[in-house]
Amino acid sequence: MKKWYSLIDKVYDKRNLYKYFAEVKSNKGAPVMRVHIDKDDGTKRPLGIPNVRGRVV
């Protein structure tokens, strides 16, 4: 029987979680992607989209 591996197995591996938790906690993670969204009154609202590591941890 073949065993199928998925990316989620690597993401939720305890070693990876501990490593990236330390990075996120010390604020050394990858920067947040900044996007500006247009509002009805013509101004723009900044929106920060976190990276995958930050969301998982």
Write down the pLDDT at residue 25. Answer: 76
16-21 contacts: CB < 8 A, separation 24 or more?
17/56, 17/57, 20/53, 20/56, 20/57, 21/57
**pTM of model > 0.75:** no
CA nearest neighbour of 57 among 18, 30, 31:
18
Domain boundaries, the chain: 7-56
Residue-wise pLDDT tens digits, 8-19? 777 778 888 888
Please give the pLDDT value at position 55.
Answer: 61
> What is the tens place of the pLDDT at every residue in 9-49?
777 788 888 887 887 777 665 677 889 999 999 999 999 88
At 57, is the pLDDT very low, low, confident or very high (cuts 50, 70, 90)? Answer: low
